[in-house]
């Protein structure tokens, strides 16, 4: 059983910043692409950002481009999501996910998931 553990969520005001972290076991982190998804109440789980293992290529949802940055620290087996200029519509539970080698924007292609961390942005 692979366990991904997210942290860093919280309640902030519009315009503030947060940094989410996701810790993974070394055997998952190595050779795995990492991604962030989010799910607002009553909505589907949406892709936010991903970073591949091989070349570190990053992909972002249009809604977060220019505001969010995904990065990974291979020495710490941790992936981060730096979120700047937060908006109320960013409010959701944020999930970390992992899949082998290359990233994807499709949630069903990720076999490993964390339990999520709540991000609430007030206006």
- Mean pLDDT in the chain? 94
Q: Average pLDDT, stretch 74-92? A: 96
Sign for the pseudo-dihedral over CA of 99, 66, 121, 106: negative
In this predicted structure, what is the pLDDT of residue 115?
Answer: 96
In this predicted structure, what is the pLDDT of residue 93?
Answer: 98
DSSP state of 101: S
> Does residue 28 have a pLDDT over 80?
no
- Bridge partner residues of 96 (DSSP): 36
């Amino acid at each position: 059983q692979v366990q991904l553990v997210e942290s860093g969520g919280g309640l902030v005001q519009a315009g503030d910043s947060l940094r989410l972290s996701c810790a993974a076991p070394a055997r998952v982190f190595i050779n795995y692409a990492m991604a962030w998804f989010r799910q607002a109440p009553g909505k589907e789980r949406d892709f936010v950002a991903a970073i591949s293992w091989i070349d570190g290529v990053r992909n972002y949802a249009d809604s977060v481009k220019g505001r969010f940055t995904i990065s990974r620290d291979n020495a710490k087996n941790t992936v981060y999501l730096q979120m700047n200029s937060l908006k109320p519509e960013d409010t959701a539970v944020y999930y970390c996910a992992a899949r082998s080698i290359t990233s994807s924007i499709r949630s069903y292609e990720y076999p490993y998931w964390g339990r999520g961390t709540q991000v609430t942005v007030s206006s």
